[in-house]
Chains A and B, each alone.
Chain A
Amino acid sequence: MEKKILICEDDEVLSSMIKFKLGKDRLGDIINVNNGKDAKEAIEQNDFSLIISDIHMPFISGMQLLEHVREFQKKNTSFIILSAEGLESTVLEAFDLGVTDFLTKPFSPGELSMRVKRLLHAA
């Protein structure tokens, strides 16, 4: 069965780029949302192997989403945070909340794909 991947990104440009690359590399069944509220709903209705979320999103931030996933959902769902600023305090907070990986924008589609492959194969 194909692994399910959730992309939560409010930037249409990045979101389409991530969806294209992961789809092209056949890494899983991809669902896209552009805000934290829809992401939360999608998480409640699906069993995702991986969630890729922007940190800065409308309604619910990436950090709040991560906290929600770790508190109420499966603890082993891989979670990648995307952030425009790689501030040390933000990175540390994310890892403290249980993030699996952290990527600072801009990143190359190839790098993201490699990291996703590694996480999905390790799961």
Chain B
Amino acid sequence: MNLKKMNELRKENMIPNISAKEKMVAANLNSYTEGDADFLLEFAQNILDNLLTLKSQLPQTLLRGNKNELSELAHMVKPTLEILGQEEILKILTNLRSGGMYEPSLTSLLKSVNETIILLKNIIKRAATPMYAEH
């Protein structure tokens, strides 16, 4: 393998240093999974899937303005957000659900969801790759 290819691979697998927020989420996940590495991966992946669904469905659901759909979506992600300790996202979502303002709530909601998705992906990478655990 040439040096360029190796550097590309390194870059793809690069995980940033652990932030305080990631530490908090990782601690929450650890308490639910009781240190079981295999279950942590499964659990974090399930949570990630829920957040990806929220991210993809939320803009269209709001556009359609169907309160039932929005309630269903909020119901679906509520336990996930509580487990993650992401009360802020839950608060914005509840506000939107009860007919609150879309902007800037929607923008900040999607931003927070995106940040949490990245953070979870990092946690999954770290859990799946022990060599990254200390970084």
Contact = CB atoms under 8 A, between A and B. Distances in A.
Interface of A: 11-14, 16-17, 20-21, 24, 56, 84, 105-106, 108-109
Contacts, number: 42
A116 to B, nearest CB: 16
Interface of B: 31-34, 36, 39, 42-43, 46-47, 49-50, 75-76, 78-80, 82-83
Contact of B32 (A12, A84, A109): A109
A70 B22 CA distance: 45
A24 B34 CA distance: 10
Contacts of B80: 11, 13
A57 to B, nearest CB: 11
Given A12-B49, A17-B33, 15 more contacts: A12-B50, A13-B50, A13-B79, A14-B79, A16-B39, A16-B43, A16-B46, A17-B32, A17-B43, A20-B33, A20-B39, A24-B34, A105-B79, A105-B82, A108-B31
Contacts of A11: 76, 79-80
A106 B34 contact: no
B46 A12 contact: yes
B79 A84 contact: yes
Contacts of B31: 108
